[in-house]
Amino acid sequence: MADDLPVVLALAHLLRDEPVAVQRNVDGYFDILRGRRVVGGLDDDVLAAFLAKAPETLRTDCSPRTVGPRTDNAVMTTWEQFTAEAPELASAAVERFTAMKHHVLATIRKDGSPRVSGTEVDFHGPDLIIGSMWNAVKARDLRRDPRFALHANPGEGSMTGGDVKVSGRAIEVTDPDELRAYADEAEPPEPFHLFRLDLEEVVLTGLAPEGDHMLLSTWRPGQSLLRYARYTAEPARLLSDS
């Protein structure tokens, strides 16, 4: 922990100057954000040292509600808003979701363990949506706990176009007119469930043209698009925040 002390002291100074947020990034490390801008980073050991050494007033500002994976207070948005905020990333995601018919959906079982299921996705009006056979287990999961993760089918494995993952909450569509409009358009077997996917995070991973490292782009509602480079056995390195 002694080696981390300069970082701990710098973070304490940063918090005194102006409130910041601590958010886990795509590589499992933590970004320090002032507004939408990433101003620093740290790993779990440094974070633990910071929380242990920081005064009580600072520990409150860095409590579990602002550290680690997002909680029930996570900000969600529609596919339409995502497209407006990050059009290039949205275009890449649409390409991946439309290139193949079947994708992988992760939901949460009643006992809290994960479940993965095959699913088709569609773009209906302003929304990214998924349907389900009536009373299927994935539909029951989402009705009980709407949190989901969706992995686009990577295709033949070449990583052409990148690898796309989205996560957020699935909101069941119950309006009869909206359900009928979808049924008339898509002609699914009836009865069926329909869920609109509200987004918390979108991540695109691809191989750099040089072939020696990965490129990651990540978007969250209301924040700048972040791009990282990841080399073997090294933490992801932030390339830009816009």
We report the CATH number of the domain holding residue 217 as 2.30.110.10
Asked if 192 and 85 sit in the same domain, the reply is yes
Residue 151 domain-assigned? yes
Q: Which residues pair with 54 in a beta bridge?
A: none
| Cross-strand pairs, 46 | none
> CB–CB of 94/123 below 8 Å?
yes
Helix (H, G, I), strand (E, B) or coil at 184: helix
| In a shared domain, residues 126 and 185 | yes
3-state helix, strand, coil in the chain (%, to 5): 30, 35, 35
Give the whole-angstrom CA distance, residue 56 versus residue 37.
Answer: 26
Structural domain including 25 reads 2-61
Task: Specify the pLDDT at position 1.
Answer: 40
Q: Domain count for the chain, please give it.
A: 2
CA 123 to chain centre: 19
72 assigned to some structural domain: no
Whether 45 and 98 share a structural domain: no
Instruction: Check whether residue 131 and residue 188 sit in a common domain.
Output: yes
Query: In tens digits, what is the pLDDT along the chain, a chain of 242 residues?
Result: 444 455 555 555 555 545 556 666 555 556 666 565 555 566 555 555 555 555 443 433 333 333 333 344 556 789 999 999 999 999 999 999 999 999 999 999 999 999 999 999 999 888 999 999 999 999 999 999 999 999 998 877 666 778 999 999 999 999 999 999 999 998 999 999 999 999 999 999 988 888 788 899 999 998 889 999 988 878 888 886 54
Q: Measured between alpha carbons, how far is 231 from 237 in angstroms, rounded to an integer?
A: 9
- What is residue 199's predicted lDDT score, i.e. its pLDDT? 95
Q: Are residues 13 and 128 located together in one domain of the fold?
A: no
Is residue 147 situated within a structural domain?
yes
Strands 147-151 and 21-24: unpaired
Beta strands in 87-213 (DSSP E): 103-108, 114-119, 121-124, 127-133, 147-151, 163-172, 192-207
Question: What's the whole-model pTM score?
Answer: 0.68
Long-range contacts of 70-78, Cβ-Cβ distance < 8 Å, separation of 24 or more: 70/200, 74/168, 74/200, 75/200, 75/220, 75/221, 75/222, 76/168, 76/169, 76/198, 76/199, 76/200, 76/221, 77/198, 77/199, 77/221, 77/222, 78/126, 78/127, 78/196, 78/198, 78/199
Whether residues 121 and 217 fall in one domain = yes
What is the pLDDT at residue 154?
81
By the 10 Å C-beta count (0-12 exposed, 13-18 middle, 19+ buried), 199 is classed as: buried
What pLDDT is attached to residue 218? Answer: 94
Asked whether residue 11 falls in the same domain as residue 109, the answer is no
Which of 61, 90, 112 is a domain's end point? 61
Q: Does 116 share its domain with 224?
A: yes
Residue 70 placed within a domain = no
Q: Residue 19: is the preceding peptide bond cis (ω within 30°)? A: no
Do 104 and 17 belong to one domain?
Answer: no
Same domain assignment for residues 27 and 123:
no
- What pLDDT is attached to residue 67? 32
Residues 213 and 172 in one domain: yes
Q: Do the domain assignments include residue 74?
A: no
